Structure 1
Amino acid sequence: MQGTRDVDDSGALLEQVNRALENATPLRIQGANSKSFLGRTTAGEILDTRTHRGIVSYDPTELVITVRCGTPLAELAQVLDDAGQMLACEPPAFGDDATVGGMIACGLSGPRRPWSGAVRDFVLGTRVITGSGKHLRFGGEVMKNVAGYDVSRLMAGSLGTLGLITEVSLKVLPKPRQTLSISLQMSNERALQHLAQWGQQPLPISAACHDGECLHLRLEGGEGSVSAARDRLGGEYLDNAWWADLNEQRLDFFDEDQPLWRLSLPNNTPRLSLPGRQLIDWGGAQRWLKSDAQAPFIRQVVAEFGGHVTCFSHGLTDSPFQPLPAALLRYHQRLKQQLDPQGIFNPGRMYAEL
């Protein structure tokens, strides 16, 4: 299945990478740059992926689609929607022109994440231009991964530091037959208690968020199960579009003029004693924090509950991602050395040591 705007520009991308290797020139990989706020600032020659675009193959009966990295995420979503299917991990776009490559590289997932899985869970295979100047295929049905690594899934969330993704094969799922959203007025504490209980029960919940006043739930599945759950839980009806506004950070909460922090925690963690406003997502496993508190203090509080912190406000701290323990950092450095020995791909984007 191909469209009129499909272009295989992998040859030009490979040429630019090999030229950068010859000249020891760092490359700054980007698509639409819609997620440039994530991670550290990196210098280098821009490598724009948007010329390499299009659906390579798609058979809805197989629930697999293969797409080039520069393809607009909105275009991919429309193709899937026309076939009654979806990317179940609900990756946020943060812009109309966001690309598939950026989706994989950033590895961000939406409200359905705890119930369906993360972006990396839907990656079946990739084609990658490596730091040795080779265009290789990993995963899928073609070749086994090398050196004991699942290279395709390693690309998810690597922010382009391990190689240039040119193509990805993704598992897709049918859209739910019925979707209904409700709001229940209750405190944070009560919401977390209910979510812990409901998690042990066969309720068709696919999203759960507490905004400080109300617990918002999305119910998805067959008409019977959704209707039964609605009768049991009660609450007021909520526009299903609310979840897209949450996912794309269009809610009023995100407009406040304070730094934005993402807290990843065990889902049964109580409300944290941190200055600022909090929004509880992913049934408790993801918390958004708007706060002027310093990074070390926020990380200390979150670490006491076994969580970690990412700064979503660019330039606020030189370490936007949770600092790595020395042993784990060595693993990252070895992986970087193996896949990008000259260190030309997005150097320092994740950590200064990479």
Structure 2
Amino acid sequence: MVTTPDIPSHDVANHDASEALADRIRRAEAKGTPLRFVGGDTKAFYGRPVQGEPLSTREHRGITEYDPVELIVSVRTGTPLRELEAALAANGQMLPCEPPHFGENATVGGMIATGLSGPRRPWAGSVRDFVLGTRLITRQGSEQRFGGQVMKNVAGYDLSRLMVGAQGTLGLLTEVSMKVLPLPGASRSLHLDMPLNDALGKFSEWGRQPLPITAAAWLDGALHLRLEGGPSSVAATAERLGGDELKAGFWEALREQQLAFFSAEDPRALWRLSLPNHTPVLELPDVAQTDVLYDWAGAQRWLRSDLDADALREVVTRAGGHATCYRGANGQSADMPFTPLPSVLEKYHRNLKAELDPKGIFNPGRLYAAF
């Protein structure tokens, strides 16, 4: 097993600030003072603005355990995401969910709190799929551990994975244990000029075949593919599918929303539509093909539009999906970024929040205004 001091090629800062964080939470709970958790603050736009005293996790950092043979790493949540990825890459490994950074200061905690995944997600899995266990500071200021470091420890009701995407509304994450995977032996990306409907048909056709595809997107009249795996398999598939070599850096630019499609100069709202596989083109008024970027083989679609939020969500819901407003018009935060919860699901959310945070001190209103 490798621990932080034994990783020779990367200077990963190591500092346990859990007691100081716990003390701050105990005092906030006693006074009923709302707290706004802050890591790298690169994903602050995601969700509703939080009014509360900032509590930074940046000093709580470091890889606490790393076993490259068992493909398991445990890391404090204030650790910069780039440092974790560099340590894994030095051992020929990676975070398979390919999480976005959205800035140099992105932390592991932000990755877990938002649960956002990159282009590889449909083929490898989401952030939640690779979480084995977590440490959490509760409202009483005690640090609790949920799950463990092996998959068999996370059977049943899994509170550790429940924290993925909760955006700090249930407690302060201090450490996470994750499964990692080896880097692919070969990688090649292709650009194929193709109409949208043809591309959607190819997504469906190729999804039924054992092809080494790990990313598939359609933008500006072209299908973009990434092939990863054994060198012979990648080479044979590339020859079979044809097309041109895709410009280097495309997938990172897509993951980090640095393509021209995501330009901040576009005053329209940016929407993320999550849809079932093989969903056809949605009938949305005044939406051109150039207003939509199809990712995850069409299951995730980015939309630039001034459509009314309720009307858009009605269309997406009828198709079996949901719509999230990443950024409102002119880059402003949306008042209701997430799809309203059905009454039964909202009841469970309220009950869970009331159980773990009855005074509402943890990132109040971050997900929904009511809690």
SS in structure 2 of the partner of residue 77 of structure 1: helix
Q: CA deviation at 1:290?
A: 0.6
Q: CA deviation at 1:173?
A: 0.2
- 2:49 paired residue number: 41
Counterparts of 1:120 and 1:257 in 2: how far apart (Å)?
A: 33
Listed one character per residue, the Cα deviations across residues 304-329 of structure 1 (whole Å, up to 9, x for unaligned) are 10110000015453210010011000
Contact kept, 8 Å, 2:93 with 2:180, in 1: the verdict is yes
**Given the alignment, which residue of 47, 50, 55 partners 2:63?**
55
- 1:273 paired to 2:290: no
- 1:68 paired to 2:85: no
**5+ residue gaps in structure 2?**
5-10
Equivalent runs, 1:275-314 vs 2, <5 Å: 275-276=286-287, 277-313=291-327
Counterparts of 2:202 and 2:323 in 1: how far apart (Å)?
A: 25
SS in structure 2 of the partner of residue 62 of structure 1: coil
Counterparts of 2:220 and 2:312 in 1: how far apart (Å)?
A: 19
Q: CA deviation at 1:257?
A: 2.9
Counterparts of 1:310 and 1:33 in 2: how far apart (Å)?
A: 19
- 2:217 paired residue number: 209
Counterparts of 1:179 and 1:141 in 2: how far apart (Å)?
A: 30
Aligned partner letter, 2:32: A
**5+ residue gaps in structure 1?**
none
Counterparts of 1:205 and 1:220 in 2: how far apart (Å)?
A: 6
Q: Structure 1 length as normaliser, TM-score?
A: 0.97
Q: CA deviation at 1:4?
A: 6.0
Aligned partner letter, 1:9: A
- 1:257 paired residue number: 267
Contact kept, 8 Å, 2:72 with 2:149, in 1: the verdict is no
SS in structure 1 of the partner of residue 69 of structure 2: helix
Listed one character per residue, the Cα deviations across residues 280-312 of structure 1 (whole Å, up to 9, x for unaligned) are 000010000011111111101111101100000
**Given the alignment, which residue of 112, 123, 136 partners 2:120?**
112
- 1:138 paired residue number: 146
SS in structure 1 of the partner of residue 135 of structure 2: strand
Counterparts of 1:318 and 1:4 in 2: how far apart (Å)?
A: 38
Contact kept, 8 Å, 2:97 with 2:127, in 1: the verdict is yes
- 2:171 paired residue number: 163
Aligned partner letter, 1:272: L
Q: CA deviation at 1:341?
A: 2.2
SS in structure 1 of the partner of residue 189 of structure 2: strand
Contact kept, 8 Å, 2:12 with 2:83, in 1: the verdict is no
Aligned partner letter, 1:15: D
- 1:182 paired residue number: 190
Contact kept, 8 Å, 1:187 with 1:212, in 2: the verdict is no
Counterparts of 1:40 and 1:19 in 2: how far apart (Å)?
A: 25
Aligned partner letter, 2:175: E
- 1:326 paired residue number: 343
Aligned partner letter, 2:161: R
Contact kept, 8 Å, 1:109 with 1:119, in 2: the verdict is yes
Change in Cα spacing, 1:208 to 1:102, as seen in structure 2 (3 Å) is same
Q: Identity of paired residues, percent?
A: 56
Contact kept, 8 Å, 1:86 with 1:173, in 2: the verdict is yes
SS in structure 1 of the partner of residue 85 of structure 2: helix
Aligned partner letter, 1:320: P
Q: Structure 2 length as normaliser, TM-score?
A: 0.92
